[in-house]
Amino acid sequence: MPNIIVKIPKGSLSPSQLDDVVAGITEAARKAEGIPDTPEKRALIWVMVDELEPGRIYAGGKQAQPAVIPVVVQIYPPEGVLDQSRREGLASDIADVVRASFGEDVNKLMVSCMMLDVPDATWGINGQLWSLPHFARAAGYQHLQSIT
């Protein structure tokens, strides 16, 4: 049940390519978090795309583009959902999904994936703070059903 923010240079992907990236990231997150593959559970995975205007991305104090195409993926899962193995698989899968969409520009692509766990009982859902058992019930995490 993560929230995911993808920061990408505006215009670097067509709308259909961007749809493919979002679908691939959604699937990678679903798999890593052990969320059942149903429309109701998939709908709990939110991906928000922030397309950055040209000239707004810097590396070493200089504009990064056109030398590189930076893509930053920030993943906010509830604390306790992802162990090290799941994190490694998710980072790898996301990099593969993004790379697959860039075609000939793949050599300039720099994919940065950050997993920023939301500490237990600090995530408010519709005005109520949730803890891991709430998330496990709602998302159906297959590996955490014993705590529901």
> Does 68 or 128 have the greater pLDDT score?
128
Q: Is the pLDDT of residue 104 over 80?
A: no
Strands (DSSP E) contained in the chain are: 3-9, 46-52, 58-59, 62-63, 69-76, 109-115, 123-125, 128-130
State pLDDT tens for residues 9-41.
999 999 999 999 999 999 999 999 999 999 999
Mean per-residue pLDDT, 5-9: 96
Give residue 54's pLDDT. 81
| End-to-end C-alpha distance for the chain, whole angstroms | 15
| H or E, element range at 134 | helix 132-139
Cα Dmax for the chain:
50
Provide the pLDDT confidence category of residue 133 given band limits of 50, 70 and 90: very high
Q: Is CATH 3.30.429.10 correct for 3-147? A: yes
